[in-house]
Structure 1
Amino acid sequence: MAPILGKHPRPDFSDRPDLNDRGDRAGTPTPDPTPDHDHDHGRRFAAGRAARGRLPLVALAWVAAYGALRVHWASGHQPDDLSPVGTDLVAFTGWAAAALCGAAAVILAALAVPRADTLGPLPRRALSAAAWTAAVCLVASGALLLLDVIGAVLPGLGVRFYPLGALSRAACVTGGILTGLSARAHTRRTRPGCIRCGRRRGAAGPLARTPAWAFWAAYLAVAGCLTRVAAQAVVGFDRSPLSGGPSAVLFEAGFLLGGCLLPPALVHSFGRTWPRFVPALRGRRVPRPLVLWPGTAISGGLTVYFGLMLLQMIWERLHGRNPFPAEGGLDLPESFFWVAVPAYLLWGAGMAVAAHAYARRTRVPCPSCGH
């Protein structure tokens, strides 16, 4: 056997062409895909940068159209019955809302001018601050949109839905969001930093671990939710203005999930990786929007709505008036609202901080600067 093995050595397949490689089989070298990949990535980046440059124009068109509607309504053509309080917006109503849209349109027009990117540091910061101020005012004016969402999703809950008022508030909030995005895009284009993501050199990157302040914020949000439940328990659950039925059950379930499960999910590992007791998904990564988007939306709605309500309560009480007189079937002691409204605000603000930490914890680093 030894001579036979020596006479017929084992063939060497090291130089054999790979049959799965069509380029080698055809005798032609396989091109390196890296340049094409970089070229495609560069084109996508350039397209995204151009889209961000057009964003102020889109926001300008939106705010100008909505401002024209506000002028028409303020001149005596506003419909009635747009919300529980009569008007569709809060904080800025009537001609004040039209003036706010006009100011936002002027600011967006300035952001859309190409020379705005070449302004000096002080004018650039002033323009950005004005844009953010207009964005916050527009979003705050549509605070009643939170009730519209609840009334539309749960029609049998007892929260009346106002279709025309809801559309107006949605348009106002959308204008505020577009204005804020335009301000952020302008800041990223003009400040020194990474050309790809716009972050400054040395900026904080993704969090390696969830910080202690995020845990505190999340559990303060849980405390706010439980305080709200305790306040209702003191006055009696039978005195709730909400109707019964399946809608009430769904609302209470969502209430507890949003107040007792979602905030911890923003800071604990089960909000990033499915836990073991989920049989089909355990060990897999939780989709980022599944946790971040509800956390951001709920915290934003609670903070804006109940923040404005608390300011209104303070204003009414300073002028010697009861912020919530017994009318419209709402007959609850004033002390209940002085506990429930700050509890809602604590819930929203705490979850907003926890959502910010979750966003940084799960953020994909920029391929250029690593931040």
Structure 2
Amino acid sequence: MATTFTDHTGTPRRAPGRRALQRRLPVIALAWVTAYGALRAHWASGHRPDDMSPVDTDLVAFTGWASVALCGAAAAVLLALAHPGAGRLPRRPLLAAAWTAALCLVASGALLLLDVIGAVLPGLGIAFYPLGALSRAACVAAGIMTGLSALAHARRTRAGCAACGRATTAPGALAHTPAWAYWAAYLAVAGCLTRIIAQAAVGFGESPLSGGASAILFEAGFVLGGSLLPLALVHSFGRTWPRRLPRLGGRRVPRRLVLWPGAAISGGLTVYFGLMLLQMFWERLNGRNPFPAEGGLALPEAFFWVAVPAYLLWGAGMAVAARAYARRTRLPCPSCAR
């Protein structure tokens, strides 16, 4: 729930510091996107460093001068959002443009998922490119700030609660976990299980990952992230510690402990493997093998047509379950009860 305070009339209001940050966010995001766009223009003019990713460029989807154009478009939208008269501009087209720019920026930094894994588990065999990772992190941060700026503008310009900023038609907190959330969570588990079965079909030795402690940690996290975490988003043990646990039993599970990993992992899987699946379709429509044999690793194409959609199902299912968990565990606003 948003931080609130009570004014002299007893009405809950959004904290002044939070309101001030929301007003300044488009300006902060504009400065960030402009600086990053200038850097990309410098790189696109022939000064891009080498070895920034396992592919030819540090970004995907929008690369080279296209990435400069994307930053320019995002800057134009943020300039409109930062203008004092932004509330008088056409609301829906402005928000649509802002959300589109935000999504394109986040999608362009999709390889950040590999950067995180390679940095956390350096012995796994996933190459880590520090400068490229910083570039992708800056791109994703630009997309997130653009999206948050759009969200803040939407809240300011719609009819809603002054305390929490939710629209008058916004759904309230969930009294119980709905059936669709259970379906989503178990579909996420099915996606993870399908991915494991696909690997078993070609052999667990046919993997580009190295062995050792990093591989053990990765595999443990892989299984827990595809089984325990989705189930924790919908079952009671994700909200209250089981009573059999010493000292913690019966206490409330910190909301962020479940929601933040669920949202982060689902977002990373959905963006990364969603783009990969689109690329696979494009390559196959042009008569090319999306994953030709390289580096001594030759997996059948059918493996990827099973594994990549399984990852996407895992991410999308967990995203839906995380949304339900967020509504299930949030405290109702004391002003509007939503």
Q: Which whole-Å deviations, capped at 9, do the CAs of 1:218-275 have from their partners, x for residues lacking one?
A: 0000000000000000000011111000000000000000001000000000000000
The sequence identity of aligned pairs, in percent, is 78
Q: Does the CA-based 8 Å contact 1:221-1:259 persist in structure 2?
A: yes
Q: Does the CA-based 8 Å contact 1:241-1:329 persist in structure 2?
A: no
Secondary structure in 2 matching 1:291: helix
- Which among 52, 57, 60 is matched to residue 82 of structure 1? 52
Q: Does the CA-based 8 Å contact 2:14-2:163 persist in structure 1?
A: no
**1:167 lines up with 2:134 in the alignment:** yes
- Which among 217, 224, 240 is matched to residue 207 of structure 2? 240
**1:187 lines up with 2:154 in the alignment:** yes
Q: For residue 25 of structure 1, what is the aligned residue in structure 2?
A: none
Partner Cα distance (2:226, 2:188) in 1: 7
Question: Aligned letter for 1:105?
Answer: A
C-alpha deviation, 1:44, in angstroms? 6.3
Q: Does the CA-based 8 Å contact 1:118-1:190 persist in structure 2?
A: no
**TM score, norm. by length of structure 2:** 0.96
Q: Does the CA-based 8 Å contact 2:13-2:162 persist in structure 1?
A: no
Q: Does the CA-based 8 Å contact 2:62-2:108 persist in structure 1?
A: yes
Q: For residue 23 of structure 2, what is the aligned residue in structure 1?
A: 53
Question: Aligned letter for 1:281?
Answer: L
Q: Does the CA-based 8 Å contact 2:111-2:272 persist in structure 1?
A: yes
- Which among 283, 307, 311 is matched to residue 250 of structure 2? 283
Could you list the runs of 5+ residues in structure 2 that have no partner in the other structure?
A: none
Question: Aligned letter for 1:316?
Answer: E
Q: Does the CA-based 8 Å contact 2:267-2:319 persist in structure 1?
A: yes
Q: For residue 329 of structure 1, what is the aligned residue in structure 2?
A: 296
Q: Which whole-Å deviations, capped at 9, do the CAs of 1:259-297 have from their partners, x for residues lacking one?
A: 010000000000000002211100000000000000000
Partner Cα distance (2:157, 2:71) in 1: 25
C-alpha deviation, 1:46, in angstroms? 2.4
Q: Which whole-Å deviations, capped at 9, do the CAs of 1:315-355 have from their partners, x for residues lacking one?
A: 00000000000012331110100000000000000000000
Q: For residue 151 of structure 1, what is the aligned residue in structure 2?
A: 118
Q: Which whole-Å deviations, capped at 9, do the CAs of 1:98-151 have from their partners, x for residues lacking one?
A: 0000000010000001111133xxx11100010000000000000000000000
Could you list the runs of 5+ residues in structure 1 that have no partner in the other structure?
A: 1-35
* RMSD over aligned Cα atoms: 1.4
Alignment of 1:351-370 (within 5 A): 351-370=318-337
Secondary structure in 1 matching 2:205: helix
Partner Cα distance (1:334, 1:70) in 2: 35
Deviates more, 1:245-254 or 1:360-369: 360-369
Partner Cα distance (2:169, 2:282) in 1: 44
Q: For residue 14 of structure 1, what is the aligned residue in structure 2?
A: none
**1:64 lines up with 2:31 in the alignment:** no
Deviates more, 1:49-58 or 1:287-296: 49-58
Partner Cα distance (2:110, 2:305) in 1: 19
Question: Aligned letter for 1:180?
Answer: G
**1:224 lines up with 2:183 in the alignment:** no
Partner Cα distance (2:62, 2:165) in 1: 33
Partner Cα distance (2:220, 2:301) in 1: 26
Question: Aligned letter for 2:135?
Answer: S
Q: For residue 216 of structure 2, what is the aligned residue in structure 1?
A: 249
Q: Does the CA-based 8 Å contact 1:275-1:282 persist in structure 2?
A: yes
Q: Does the CA-based 8 Å contact 2:12-2:163 persist in structure 1?
A: no
C-alpha deviation, 1:81, in angstroms? 1.1
Partner Cα distance (1:37, 1:354) in 2: 33
Question: Aligned letter for 2:27?
Answer: L
Alignment of 1:87-166 (within 5 A): 87-119=57-89, 123-166=90-133
Question: Aligned letter for 1:268?
Answer: H
Question: Aligned letter for 1:86?
Answer: D
Question: Aligned letter for 1:324?
Answer: F
**TM score, norm. by length of structure 1:** 0.88
Aligned length: 333
C-alpha deviation, 1:37, in angstroms? 6.1
